[in-house]
Amino acid sequence: MDPSSDSKQFLPAPTVWTPRERVRAVYAGQTPDRVPLLLDLSHWYKKNHGVFFDLRGFTQVEPELVELHKKCGAVLYIETGNPFDIAYEDDSVFSENWTDDHGVFHTRITTPLGTICEERIFNPDSYSYHIHKWLVQDIRDLAVLEYALSRRSLHPRFERYLAWNQAAGDLAFPYVFLSYSGLGFLISRYMGIERTILAIYDYPQQVERFIRSVNACNLRLLDQLIDQPFDVLLVGDNHDSSVQSPDLFKRFTFDYYSEIARRLHAHGKYLAVHVDGEMRGLLQLLDACGVDCIDAATPSPMFSLTPENARAQAGDRLILSGGIPATVFGAGGSDAEFIESVKRWLDIRLCSPHLFLAAGDQVPPDAPWHRIEMLSELVDRYGRY
């Protein structure tokens, strides 16, 4: 049985397809006139337009970013800020962020169990913040973080979401990002790969308790959000099977994703998961637990799977969204390599229409603009059904 069959909403085919209708049709299990084109231009926009990179995200519509999407004809689907505010239910939990005089971005969380601090430093070349000091240094810090994260509460602010929809019009299909999973928080955000893996072996009970506690809180937040006017929830765990192995996924994440998918599908909504790493060995598991879409699906030469391999491992149902490795999209690749990469990704539409063309994660800041503009024409030429 199709694990997301209850969430399919079959729609009459339009006479003239809009970009938004193409995306909606694929999620509903239908075949549009051509493969939808989606792009995350946020980093490219900040770097090339000299926009300050605020780690707290956008708080309102960025008109210039919207205009970039209109110029290239790509759906705006991600990095539109959160349509909700997060607070702590417990007044004893206090969190603050600031940037010091040296440009270091600090996060400090204080609870009755102690205080933990993170430091991130901006890299102007990659236009990103690398973590200089992890928030969790040892098992005592993990208890402090668990205390805080398990006491989060959500307050919807969907006027922000609706504003982006209105600004981008037929190019708007914003996903709502809720939270990392418990394991995702540790590996990608607060503890790092090495410390997390060692802690799983050295302190298995404490780590499992943290992950279960965070995931349970995330599900409570989802219940506070689920009736709001959105179509797709994105879980941004940055999966890479060489780090979050299939065994770890089955142990800590499979049941959690299955429950998110079940709740979303019961409300006619969909689940996307941000992979952004090695897909080999994870695609079957993500399909099995009811995930609808793999965001930032990046094939070879960056990772091991070819587009054909990825389609075969994912099966016919799972939407593969991505296809253009940053090493090809950016200045390091040639136009010929870029075009060939796009054509090869689009070719797998013949195996299944559950396909989006997008960057493998964000459009890299060094991507030439003419390649970004080229994509709509390439899809029109090579991506029709």
Per-residue pLDDT of 117-128, as tens digits, reads 999 999 888 788
| Pair 321, 358: CB distance under 8 Å | yes
Q: How confident is the model at residue 255 (pLDDT cuts 50, 70, 90)?
A: very high
Residue 110 lies in a domain: no
Per-residue pLDDT tens over the stretch 153-189 = 999 999 999 999 999 999 999 999 989 999 999 999 9
The predicted pLDDT at position 123 comes to 87
Does residue 124 sit within a domain?
no
Evaluate whether residue 131 is within a structural domain: no
Say which residues have a Cβ less than 8 Å from residue 119's Cβ, sequence separation at least 6.
Answer: 104, 105, 106, 131, 132, 133
Measured in whole angstroms, the distance separating CA 48 from the mean position of its chain's CA atoms is 22
Q: In sequence order, which residues have a C-beta less than 8 Å from that of residue 186 and are 6 or more positions away?
A: 136, 196, 199, 207, 210, 211
Summarised one tens digit per residue, pLDDT across range 95-135 is 999 999 888 999 999 999 999 999 999 988 878 899 999 99
pLDDT in tens, 302-348: 999 999 999 999 999 999 999 999 999 999 999 999 999 999 999 99
Residue 288 lies in a domain: yes
How many structural domains are present in the chain?
Answer: 1
- Average pLDDT on 1-13 reads 56
Please report the pLDDT score of residue 11 as a whole number: 67
pLDDT band at 90 (very low <50, low <70, confident <90, very high): very high
pLDDT tens for residues 359-377?
998 999 999 999 999 999 9
Residue 14 has pLDDT above 80, yes or no: no
Average pLDDT, the chain: 94
The pLDDT of residue 2 is 47
Return the CA Rg of the chain.
Answer: 20
What is the spatial distance between Cα 6 and Cα 284, in angstroms, rounded to a whole number? 20
Q: Which two tokens stand for residue 136?
A: 């969790």
**Crossing angle for the helix pair 204-225 and 254-266, nearest 10 degrees?**
10
Note whether residue 126 is domain-resident.
no
What number of other Cβ atoms are within 10 A of residue 80's Cβ? Answer: 27
Which among 58, 78, 207, 53 has a CA at the least distance from the CA of 130? Answer: 53
pLDDT category, 93, cuts 50, 70, 90? Answer: very high
- Owning domain of residue 281: 5-87+137-382
Q: Quick check: is 103 in a domain? A: no
Q: What is the pTM of this model?
A: 0.94
User: For residue 175, what pLDDT is reported?
Assistant: 98
Classify residue 175: in a domain, yes or no: yes
Query: Is residue 82 domain-resident?
Result: yes
Rounded-to-integer distance, Cα 276 and Cα 268, Å: 26
Specify the CATH number for the domain of residue 290.
Answer: 3.20.20.210
Give 151's Cβ-side CA count (13 Å radius).
Answer: 18
- Coil vs helix vs strand at 309: helix
